[in-house]
Amino acid sequence: MGMDKKILELAAKYRDYTAENLSKLVKVKSYSSQEEDVCRLIVTLLEEAGFEDIRIDGLGSVIGKVGNGPKKLAIDAHVDTVEVGNRDNWKFDPFSGEIKDGLVYGRGTSDQKGGAASMITAGRILKELGYGGEYTVYFTFTVMEEDCDGMCWKYLIEEENFKPDLVVSTEPTSCQLYRGQRGRMEIRTILKGISCHGSAPERGVSAAYKAARAALAIEQLNEELPPDDDNFLGKGTVTVSQMDVRGPSQCAVPDYAMLYLDRRLTWGEDADFAIAQVRDVVSKATGDNPEDIVVEMPMYEKVGWTKKDYSQELYFPTWKTEEDHFFVQAGVDAYETLFGKKPVVDKWTFSTNLVATTGRHKIPAIGFGPGDEVQAHAPNEITRVDDLEICAAFYAMLPLSLEKKGGK
């Protein structure tokens, strides 16, 4: 029996095991920076599955490996989740982890503990098959992604000197092969006015009216942003996500306004470009000198469960891997070998940890994960057990396909 058949056989054999592990993960609440309990559980699951060199890094991410080859392949899942939101929107307990009718129910099933569960099974399969090929396969279960995507990997690469040759994200792709995503950044714009008594507003300069004009200018900017040259990632976007206007009292013209922007960056756009663009658009809308407008990237400074002091600016660079790259082609080969058909090759709408590995550090990357993007951050989140089985097989097959394609 060929290795592909053995992998499929074991993925099917461990189908219930994978779903049950996902159920266990869902039952452990793990909001960003509060992941200690789920990380401790993952360590136990990795030990039971036979992973090697299991450790917890300085920020709290769990890392284990299979194999001992000279090349390093990392397969990544973040194990934090967003919060539940309005419980009235949920038809079931968000932390039930119920398995029923071919689905697993609960917060994080698609985004993205499903990927983590499939990774554990993939490692178990590789161990059972005695994998000893060209790759050391690292499985990373990372923290704080929902709050600050990629910071966990920025830390691993820049502080712990762990830099793999290739990276797979197991964020939800509906079992399609993804090779890129738009980047993103957060921008804070501060406008100044001159306060005066509300009974004579003509004596002052209203920061509120400046903010209103600036917001409409940002709306227009969003309409005018162009797509990337090959129209793979599509156009960038910008939207006002928060506004704050203040003055000395409720009976005064406000002298302070803040607009918070969510900016999605397509290929060819970066932080300097986006900040200069916002400064220009807002200054024209308000009539202020560009130098008098504060346009800045805020910092992310939340402390994680290990209490490690680490932060970064809220900038997450765009990335893509070309379709003819050997890594993408190895992903196509793995899927086609296992399932007898070519995968759909596409991209994410949202942002992932690959903004750090690939956007910042240029490590070639692909994405392949169970569940659907539309389930992310939504109430009544579910994922399909079929997807878990497919992904477990794919992750186990990938190092073999990489060897076939001569990946370096």
The yes-or-no verdict on residue 69 having pLDDT over 50 is yes
Chain segment 239-275, per-residue pLDDT in tens: 999 999 999 999 999 999 999 999 999 999 999 999 9
When pLDDT is cut at 50, 70 and 90, the band that residue 147 belongs to is very high
pLDDT, residue 405, reads 77
pLDDT reading at 407 higher than 60: no
Domains of the chain, each with CATH number or no CATH: 3-182+318-405 (3.40.630.10), 183-300 (3.30.70.360)
CA distances from 257 to 206, 242, 334 (A): 9, 11, 53
Asked if the model's pLDDT at residue 406 lies above 80, the reply is no
Res. 140 pLDDT band, cuts 50 70 90: very high
Question: What is the share, in percent, of the chain residues with pLDDT greater than 70?
Answer: 99
Task: Taking residues 197-201, report their average pLDDT.
Answer: 97
Q: Which residue in 76, 111, 145, 146 is the catalytic one?
A: 145
Mean pLDDT of 384-395: 98
**Residue 214 pLDDT more than 90?**
yes
269 classed as catalytic: no
Question: Mind listing the pLDDT tens digit for each residue in 78-107?
Answer: 999 999 999 999 999 999 999 999 999 999
Mean pLDDT of 212-227: 98
Average pLDDT, the chain: 97
The CA angle 322-327-333, to the nearest 5 degrees, is 110
Q: Which of 35, 80, 186, 381 is flagged as catalytic?
A: 80
Residue 50 is predicted with a pLDDT of 97
What pLDDT is attached to residue 1?
A: 74
Structure confidence at residue 408 (pLDDT): 47
pLDDT digits (tens, 9 = 90+) for 344-374: 999 999 999 999 999 999 999 999 999 999 9
Q: State the pLDDT confidence band at 11, using cuts at 50, 70 and 90.
A: very high
Concerning whether 52 is annotated as a catalytic residue, the answer is: no
